Chain A
Amino acid sequence: MKILVAVKRVVDYNVQLHVKSDGSGVETDGVKMSINPFDEIAVEEAIRIKEAGHADEVLVVSIGSDACQEQLRAALAMGADRALLVKCDRDVQPLLAAKALQALVGQERPQLVLMGKQAIDDDACQTPQMLAGLLDWPQATFASRIVIAGAGKVEVTREVDAGLETLSLDLPTVISTDLRLNEPRYIKIPQIMKAKSKPLQMLDLADLPITETPLLNIVTTSAPEPRPAGVRVGSVAELVDALKEKGVL
């Protein structure tokens, strides 16, 4: 079985972001970029499934600028076998990403597609479900446990608002990964060296058969209103008084 993992290059989760004063977006120049953390979990899971003998190839894919090669190399260093970059210099919104992935699935024929449940830049939480819809495949979002059950089936436990839900899905399928699925491995120097010689193929988004895709228009970007400064109290008695004063006790 082949596993396709989609990864997005995003501003690192530790970066304190600044909104541009002209309202055109957030400052990304000179900012540290990383694999979207949820996608890194998807890469780790794919590698573990392969290590367990359930898959023979892990293909990692990204859509975006040339710079995404950095994140693809990181995924190769983790243990993915092969990488593919779909070059695109405009904003990659979820529907466009899903259509590009749909085209790649047509070419690569994976049995399993994994990606993070959400990218930490646009926080859209859409691409995996959109891809599954376009392909008419089953979907399991917010996965915290994935078991390849054999006979073309996979069992997925999902973190939902009510608790934990378990689904059985027929392969091929799309699964989106949540935080508690695994803890991604650290990359060691020899693996980074080895990853340099792994295949990384590039193609242009324009070369993929993609139908006309509507896009959202982001009109303005602003910094959220900060909360007014609070007070410090010195004791529980003062805390209780302050809560009563605010009318919440």
Chain B
Amino acid sequence: MNRILLIAEHNGQNLDPATAKSLTCALQIPHQTLDIAVFGSSRAPAESAAKLVGVNRVLFVELPENQAGLAVCLCPLVVELSADYTHVLVPATSFGRDLLPRVAAKLNAAQVSDIVAVDGDRCFKRYVYAGNALITVQAPAGTVVASVRANAFKPTSAGGQAVVETVDLNLELPRHTRLLGLNRSVSERPDLQSASRVLAGGRGVGGKSGFDDLYRLADKLGAAVGASRAAVDAGFVPNDLQIGQTSKIIAPDLYIAFGISGAFQHLAGIKDAGVIVAVNTDPNAPIFEVADIGLVADLFEVIPQLEQALANK
């Protein structure tokens, strides 16, 4: 029977929402045990992981903060732990995408990336060609190594009471890689990848001041703000706001695109959204083909009117 190990993602203190979502995916694989590994300097994320329903054990491996995010340091630890498991899973965030292939290579395993559905013990569905095709793929004999598109799954709820076990692996970690710094974008707003409402701007927003308007509306709606590649390339907003196939893949209940034409690389990042709204002056913009509600209009007129309408609600 399968023994599954899920690698947790966290920021040092809090478990990333992608962990509870990936757990939902992992729980769909028939299993005897499902454990979560937490690597870090604080036990807090491990304690949170232990509360997720369906978890048998949480393995806490203590690591200095400047090593806890480095794939080259985590890889030998994960490889060591994986000896007891049939499956090693990780959220397909930038953290998981960086780490897991290195682990797979060490295990001589063919990795399945970015799974969106479970189809048996070692069979999964995933998108290829920027979401233009869906494949069913079977992992070969040996350890199953897979990353999970977290936003394709609902989070597992808290209410469990697994034990947290401290594991001392006592391995020598490489010294060839040093973390010089993380320039974290600090925001009081909801997190783009887990927000239930997202407003996004494209080239049509025109500049930083246009995004200020978008932020004001977002605050009224309790929404996160995202952007198309064009808006990030133009320097309107930082890179961590980019939504799309190779950046952030989101699945909010409500997604409103302002001035985004809808390149399919962008559409691949929003296809799991509940309701897609497009506001664009170009009636032929491809975004309208996937929008549930389309409004051909100037976003600079729409945003203040929406603010007004919400104020009158």
Binding site for B on A (CB under 8 A): 11, 13, 17, 19, 26, 38, 93-95, 98, 117-118, 120-134, 136-142, 144, 155, 158-170, 173, 179-180, 211-224, 227-228, 230-240, 242-243, 246, 248-249
Contact = CB atoms under 8 A, between A and B. Distances in A.
A183 B93 CA distance: 25
A213 B105 CA distance: 10
Contacts of B193: 161
A236 B313 CA distance: 13
9 contacts: A127-B101, A130-B102, A139-B98, A141-B94, A166-B183, A167-B180, A170-B177, A215-B110, A227-B276
A165 B246 contact: no
Interface string B182-213: 11110000000100010000000000000000
B225 to A, nearest CB: 15
Contacts of A139: 71-72, 98, 102, 177
**Chain B residues touching A, majority SS:** mixed
Nearest to B293: A242
B102 A122 contact: no
B184 A162 contact: yes
B182 A224 contact: no
**Chain A residues touching B, majority SS:** mixed
B127 interface: yes
Nearest to A102: B105
Contacts of B160: none
B290 interface: yes
B288 interface: yes
B108 interface: yes
A154 B69 CA distance: 19
Interface residues of B, number: 87
A28 B196 CA distance: 38
A166 B240 contact: no
A248 B136 contact: no
Most chain B CB within 10 A, of A13, A136, A216, is at A216
B293 A138 contact: no
A37 to B, nearest CB: 10
Contact of A125 (B97, B123, B275): B97
Most chain B CB within 10 A, of A211, A222, A236, is at A236
A95 B110 contact: yes
Contact of B136 (A144, A218, A224): A218
A132 B102 CA distance: 7
Given A26-B133, A223-B133, A123 B113 contact: yes
B266 to A, nearest CB: 13
Interface in B298-312: 302, 305-306, 309
Contact of B71 (A94, A129, A249): A129
Contacts of A179: 229, 233, 246
B35 interface: no
Contacts of A142: 94, 98
Contact of B98 (A122, A129, A164): A129
Contacts of A180: 232-233, 239
Nearest to A118: B246
Contact of B309 (A162, A214, A236): A236
Interface in B238-271: 238-240, 245-248, 253-254, 265, 271
